[in-house]
Amino acid sequence: MSGKGEAVTRRTEGRGGEGAAYVLSRGVVVLFAVACGAAVANVYFSQPLLVTMGHDLAMSPALVGGVVTLTHVGYGLGLFFLVPLGDVADRRRIVVAQLSLLVVALAVVATARTAAVLLAGMAATGLLAVVTQTLVAFAASLAPPGGRGRVVGLVTSGIVIGILLARTASGLLADLAGWRSVYLASATLTAVLALILYRVLPRPIAAPTTLRYGQLLRSTLTLFAREPLLRLRAVYCLLVFAAFSTLWSSVALPLSEAPYFLPHRAIGALGLIGVAGALAATVAGRLNDRGLSRRTTGIALALLAASWLPLAFTRSSLWALAAGVILLDLAVQAVHVTNQTLIYALHPDAGSRLIGGYMVFYSLGSATGAIAATSLYTVAGWGAVCVLGAAFSCLGLVVWVGSGWRELRTKPSPARG
């Protein structure tokens, strides 16, 4: 893909192609990004609303905590059990079906009158929100190989913006019309997107892979066993999202205490600063298209480690916090875009399985960072949280250096070549 707003035509390549000569315009790529951001935001809407939900439905603190837990558990299950279906069925139908079911799940949450109904609705919402990853694989399959990094970068920017703005949007909307309005609004937007995507996305002309469902799931594990690059990139994913979650799951704690005492809306607005870094994901995609994936990864991991220096001064300077947030989000998204671009190219016909299996490590990393950071803050404070985040980041850099040495040692010498 070359030039701004320039349409790209891609012919079908077996299962990877989704139309005889489908034109992937910039507008369609933006539509993918918007749909991805809107879907994944549903996983994060509840975080600033937990206290209000608990009071409204007379939930105990343990049950309130289960809202977030069940949503993420549902998302993790969907990554493994639902996303791979994109390799054996019509992705267009899968996307529209999952979005339609997501509308139902959101409506259940918005109208829940008991804790049990709310928790069931949140688990279903997390399970179906993995349509985001099906859309990523779909967009990658439609992009020409030379422009795939740019397309994945744009779509990933939409995902990150959705994650970062979800808390801000839900907090503002809840203040205006109550917490239920957040899910009603999301259900409406999701329904509109389902209709648009139904009309815009191409129909496949190639027969799907004839794998049974059990074989499909086993083949996901087989791909990890066979592909060293997939394993390496999964490790990067786990570490960078552990660092990402270390920051975003705990930063509200020091900001709500002395000397700031910031309200929830102001803390949620911090996500707006992170968007600046997320938008740089498109630059990483372009660098990947130029064959600079290893260098991009190394620079990004170095920036990720460096971001914790200004973040350590959060209690004394909001400017330092802002600088650290931008650096961290830029670095995480650069690695993430690079990872997805490289692993999809391994087996385009197994793109959904590759993306779904890879994103399981995203869930593991996010959960690890969140649990460790909040626990550590309670016993040792913000400084210890920053040390934890820097440790995840530096470990990623060590893995990057080690993988480079391994490549040099296994590369044939000119004499033997």
Contact 111, 180 (CB under 8 A): yes
Percent of the chain with pLDDT over 90: 50
204 against 27, higher pLDDT: 27
Q: Assess whether pLDDT exceeds 80 at residue 280.
A: no
Alpha-carbon dihedral angle through residues 76, 77, 79, 80, given to the nearest 10 degrees = 130
Alpha-carbon dihedral angle through residues 403, 133, 208, 204, given to the nearest 10 degrees = -120
Please count the other Cβ atoms lying within 10 Å of the Cβ belonging to residue 399: 16
Question: Of 66, 296, 104, 249, which is closest to residue 186 (Cα–Cα)?
Answer: 104
pLDDT-derived band of residue 11, with 50, 70 and 90 as boundaries?
very low
Give me the pLDDT at residue 1, please. 38
Integer Cα distance of 366 and 346 in angstroms: 25
Which tens digit of pLDDT belongs to each residue from 22-70? 668 889 999 999 999 999 999 989 877 877 888 899 888 767 767 877 8
Which tens digit of pLDDT belongs to each residue from 89-105? 899 999 999 999 999 99
Give me the pLDDT at residue 366, please. 85
**Distance (Å) of CA 38 to CA 86, 99, 131, 166, 335:** 20, 10, 10, 9, 22
Give me the pLDDT at residue 409, please. 61
Phi, psi (deg, nearest 5) at residue 287: -65, -35
Residue 1 DSSP class? -
User: Across all residues in the chain, what is the average pLDDT?
Assistant: 86
The Cβ-side half-sphere exposure at 54, using a 13 Å CA radius, reads 15
Residue where the block lists tokens 């049990």: 116
Q: Which amino acid is at 258?
A: A
Contact 285, 341 (CB under 8 A): yes
Contacts of 49 (CB under 8 A, 6+ apart): 170, 171, 174, 179, 182
Integer Cα distance of 372 and 387 in angstroms: 12
The Cβ-side half-sphere exposure at 352, using a 13 Å CA radius, reads 29
> E strands of 333-413, at which residues?
none
pLDDT-derived band of residue 3, with 50, 70 and 90 as boundaries?
very low
**Distance (Å) of CA 48 to CA 4, 26, 166, 167, 278:** 38, 34, 9, 6, 21
pTM given for the model: 0.82
Contact 191, 302 (CB under 8 A): no
- Please tell me whether the peptide bond between 259 and the residue prior to it is cis, using omega within 30 degrees of 0: yes
Question: Of 163, 122, 150, which is closest to residue 36 (Cα–Cα)?
Answer: 163
Integer Cα distance of 390 and 412 in angstroms: 35
**Cα angle vertex 210, ends 204, 211, to 5°?**
120
pLDDT-derived band of residue 309, with 50, 70 and 90 as boundaries?
very high
Range in 111-125, 165-179, 224-238 with the lowest mean pLDDT: 165-179
Contact 147, 289 (CB under 8 A): yes
Number of separate helices (H) and strands (E) present in the chain: 18, 2
Q: Assess whether pLDDT exceeds 80 at residue 245.
A: yes
User: Terminal CA-to-CA distance of the chain, rounded, Å?
Assistant: 35
Range in 125-139, 233-247, 400-414 with the lowest mean pLDDT: 400-414
pLDDT-derived band of residue 370, with 50, 70 and 90 as boundaries?
confident
Q: Strands 8-11, 21-24: parallel, antiparallel or unpaired by DSSP?
A: antiparallel
Integer Cα distance of 120 and 71 in angstroms: 9
pLDDT-derived band of residue 135, with 50, 70 and 90 as boundaries?
very high
Written as six digits, the tokens of 48 are: 């600033």
pLDDT-derived band of residue 411, with 50, 70 and 90 as boundaries?
low
